[in-house]
A and B are shown apart, each in its own frame.
Chain A
């Protein structure tokens, strides 16, 4: 079970924030094209940092507590999923707050 530890954290992030899409109608997953366009550059920028950090021994991933699936010879699959699902979680939070506090958006400026 240990190898699913990091994946478990990601699953928690996904499920907890998916509630915001359903309950508060964050409408982030619903806008899939806009979401895709937003996430791709973020994934690329953060993967570049991760690549530099990994090849220069800045940080290490626990063999026992991760799946061991490595992409492109450096990137644990959990890291790629992190760079996809954490930005989505932050967008869901942002849009959920916007759903509750309409007054925070003067003249639909955003």
Chain B
């Protein structure tokens, strides 16, 4: 199987977990997508280090991109790469994060250490956010 094929199976399992098995529906919340966009930014950053410095390298036969970058740095963008990492890594990370948040919310709803909920932020944290909206 290619990296993409396995990733799609894991995405399917993640959707099944959230919508059918645990019925947590985190993928329908703004809270999830806002958090995920922050996580994705840091994924690009840290994964860029792992792949750009060749700490982790990939067999081109299983990737969307075709170039071999076992000893030389992959492109920042292009040849199936996004910030040095294979595009498929986005799906890998996404499935892992959906598993995690869905299970976390599930156990909370089951009453396992549901309280105390997070917060409040410190007093000096601006109430309307850093951009003065609201």
Chain A residues near B (Cβ < 8 Å): 5-6, 9, 12-13, 16, 23-28, 31-35, 37-39, 41-42, 45-46, 49, 52-53, 56-62, 65-66, 83, 86-87, 89-91, 93-102, 104-105, 108, 110
Q: Do A94 and B122 form a contact, CB below 8 Å, given A27-B117, A42-B99, A46-B96?
A: no
On chain B, the residues within 8 Å of A98 by CB distance are 31, 117-119
How many residue pairs link A and B with beta carbons under 8 A? The number is 149
B interface majority secondary structure: helix
On chain B, the residues within 8 Å of A87 by CB distance are 96-97, 99-100
Of A27, A38, A104, which is within 8 A of B116 by CB? A27
CB under 8 Å from chain A, chain B span 49-79? 49-50, 53-59, 62, 70
Q: Which size class do B's interface residues fall under?
A: 35 or more
Chain B residues near A (Cβ < 8 Å): 3, 6, 10, 13, 24, 26, 29-32, 34-36, 38-39, 42, 46, 49-50, 53-59, 62, 70, 92-93, 96-97, 99-101, 103-105, 107-109, 112-113, 116-122, 125, 129
